[in-house]
């Protein structure tokens, strides 16, 4: 089993204005940003850095002035081959002069992504963009029944989008199933960057617990996929869709199988009276006192000593166990009793 920290890292790094309460809200935001963004192709010689008021702007031939944000400013420094920390110490006019003297020339155009009056990113011709909204279209189509986890301790939602990237953490809390005698539910992470901050990717898994730090505990069947934003990055959407669909298919298969096992457990009896039921439960490493309480509870409530009724009574009895670790161990053993149904 593995403990997954991707969502926890997001929880501690995202400000309030990058959090979204629902997948629809996140998708609507990303779609608006996509629709309001524009790719502008410019030859290096047509880009004129200028210091305007308290920032460095780019004057693009035929398009006017656009302000560099923190990410695109860093990309400009990379293109110019100078340290961002060094340029940050300069006045805007001086920084613009440095860029004018150090930016490379050539005949290969640069793609400049703008949003309003801001430059979101600057890339060479080999970079291929994938918009967050297009990725989320696939997620919304494929991940029926999945929703964000309970908010973290600081109110973080698991759904984020900012200037540099997008991240979504989704689970299906209604799809708990038995796997090897333990309870698991499905979930996945999906991420992307429209400006080159990170790859596009997905990670699916089955988990046992999610804490308030959004650490995913005891995950199994972890499947990870990512791709860089190169020429065939568009194919990543199809790959991600297939991976999520496989998770959904497995969820439905396991949920149907679990439902069948519950129906069998409701029909299968472990004796006609309390004594026979208690004997049937012996040898399964469950405390005799707990077995006695459960059998007596079933005798009072229904008198039907089915596997389901006994498992339910034993599960309720574990609530009196003081230590969480002992309680979890008992619950695992009790869940395994469902295999007694035939």
In DSSP terms, which residues pair with 225 in a beta bridge? 202
Identify whether residues 312 and 180 lie together within a single domain: no
Confidence at residue 201, expressed as pLDDT on a 0 to 100 scale: 94
pLDDT digits (tens, 9 = 90+) for 287-341: 888 888 888 888 888 888 888 888 888 877 776 655 555 566 677 777 777 777 7
**Residue 330 and residue 284 in contact, taking contact as beta carbons nearer than 8 Å:** no
pTM, to two decimals: 0.76
**Tokens describing residue 120:** 């979101």
Co-location of 187 and 140 in the same domain: yes
Domain boundary among 194, 222, 257: 257
In the block, which residue shows the tokens 């890292």?
9
How far, rounded to the nearest angstrom, does the alpha carbon of residue 253 sit from its chain's CA centroid? 22
Q: Are residues 320 and 223 in the same domain?
A: no
Which parts of the chain register pLDDT below 70? 258-259, 319-329, 342
CB neighbour class for 55 (10 Å; exposed up to 12, middle 13-18, buried from 19): middle
As a whole number of angstroms, the distance between CA 175 and CA 200 comes to: 27
- Residue 118 within any structural domain of the chain: no
Q: Does residue 114 form part of some domain?
A: no
Q: Note the pLDDT of residue 147.
A: 95
User: Which uninterrupted H or E stretch holds 59?
Assistant: strand 55-60
Same domain, 54 and 29: no
Q: Which of 161, 228, 236, 233 is nearest to 196 (CA)?
A: 228
The DSSP secondary-structure symbol of 89 reads T
| pLDDT at res. 322 | 54
Q: What count of other Cβ atoms lies within 10 Å of the Cβ of residue 125? A: 10
Return the pLDDT at 320: 63
CA dist 94 and 101 (Å) reads 11
Rounded CA-CA distance 259/106 in Å is: 65
- Residue 12, classified by CB atoms within 10 Å of its CB into exposed (0-12), middle (13-18) or buried (19+), is exposed
Cβ(49)–Cβ(103) under 8 Å? yes
Query: What is the count of structural domains for the chain?
Result: 3
Tell me whether strands 118-123 and 64-68 are parallel, antiparallel or unpaired: parallel
For residues 13 and 189, give the distance between their C-alpha atoms in angstroms, rounded to a whole number: 16
Task: Please check whether residue 84 lies inside any domain of the structure.
Answer: yes
Question: In the prediction, which pLDDT does 156 show?
Answer: 93
Residues 119, 58 contacting (CB under 8 angstroms): yes
Q: Are 225 and 86 members of one domain? A: no
Could you tell me the residue range of the domain that residue 204 belongs to? 2-33+130-257
Same domain, 139 and 9: yes
For residue 186, what pLDDT is reported?
Answer: 95
99's enclosing H/E stretch is helix 92-102
Q: 57 φ, ψ to 5°?
A: -120, 160
Q: Is 253 in the same domain as 288? A: no
Which pLDDT does position 321 carry in this prediction? 59
pLDDT at 247: 94
* Domain membership flag for residue 123: no
What are the phi and psi torsion angles at 240 (to 5°)? -65, -40
* 98 and 152 together in one domain: no
Domain end position, chosen among 205, 224, 257: 257
Domain end marker among 197, 231, 257: 257
User: Would you give the distance in Å from CA 120 to the centre of its chain?
Assistant: 24
Tokens of 191: 């991420």
What is residue 22's predicted lDDT score, i.e. its pLDDT?
Answer: 96
> Is the domain of 135 the same as that of 7?
yes
Tell me the C-alpha distance between 106 and 103, whole Å: 10
Q: Do 141 and 243 lie in a common domain?
A: yes
Tell me, what's the pLDDT at 137?
96
Residue 171, in any domain of the structure: yes
Pairing of strands 37-42, 47-52: unpaired
Is 141 found in the same domain as 12? yes
State the Cα–Cα distance between residues 253 and 275, nearest whole angstrom. Answer: 37
Q: What pLDDT does 65 receive?
A: 85
What pLDDT does 319 receive?
Answer: 66
**Length in residues, the chain:** 342
Q: Are residues 155 and 226 in the same domain?
A: yes
**What confidence score (pLDDT) does residue 107 get?**
80
Distances (CA, A) of 234 to 168, 186, 203, 219, 237: 19, 26, 18, 29, 6
Residue 38 domain-assigned (yes or no): no
């Amino acid at each position: 089993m593995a403990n997954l920290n991707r969502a926890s890292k997001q929880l501690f790094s995202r400000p309030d204005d990058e959090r979204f309460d629902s997948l629809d809200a996140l998708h609507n935001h990303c779609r608006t940003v996509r629709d309001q963004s524009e790719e502008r192709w410019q030859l290096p010689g047509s880009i004129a850095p200028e210091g305007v008021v308290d920032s460095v702007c780019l004057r693009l031939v035929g398009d006017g002035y656009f302000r560099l944000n923190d990410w695109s400013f860093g990309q400009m420094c990379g293109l110019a081959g100078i340290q961002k920390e060094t340029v940050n110490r300069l006045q805007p006019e001086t920084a613009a002069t440095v860029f004018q003297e150090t930016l490379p020339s050539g005949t290969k155009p640069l793609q400049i992504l703008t949003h309003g009056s801001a430059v979101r990113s600057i890339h060479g011709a080999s970079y291929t963009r994938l918009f967050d909204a297009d990725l989320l279209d696939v997620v919304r189509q494929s991940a029926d029944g999945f929703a964000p986890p309970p908010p973290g301790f600081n109110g973080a939602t698991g759904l984020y989008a900012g200037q540099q990237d997008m991240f979504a953490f989704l689970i299906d809390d209604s799809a708990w199933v038995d796997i090897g005698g333990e309870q698991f539910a499905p979930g996945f992470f999906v991420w992307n960057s429209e400006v080159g901050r990170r790859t596009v990717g997905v990670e699916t898994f089955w988990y046992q617990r999610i804490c308030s730090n959004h650490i995913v505990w005891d995950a199994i069947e972890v499947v990870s996929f990512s791709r860089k934003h190169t020429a065939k990055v568009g194919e990543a959407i199809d790959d991600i869709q297939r991976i999520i669909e496989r998770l959904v298919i497995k969820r439905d298969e396991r949920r149907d199988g679990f439902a069948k096992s519950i129906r069998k457990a409701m029909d299968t009896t472990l004796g006609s009276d309390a004594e026979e039921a208690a004997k049937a439960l012996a040898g399964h490493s469950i405390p005799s006192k707990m077995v006695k309480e459960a059998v007596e509870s079933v005798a009072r409530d229904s008198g039907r000593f089915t596997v389901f009724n006994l498992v339910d009574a034993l599960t309720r009895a574990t609530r009196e166990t003081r230590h969480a670790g002992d309680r979890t161990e008992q619950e695992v053993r009790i869940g395994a009793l469902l295999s007694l149904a035939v």
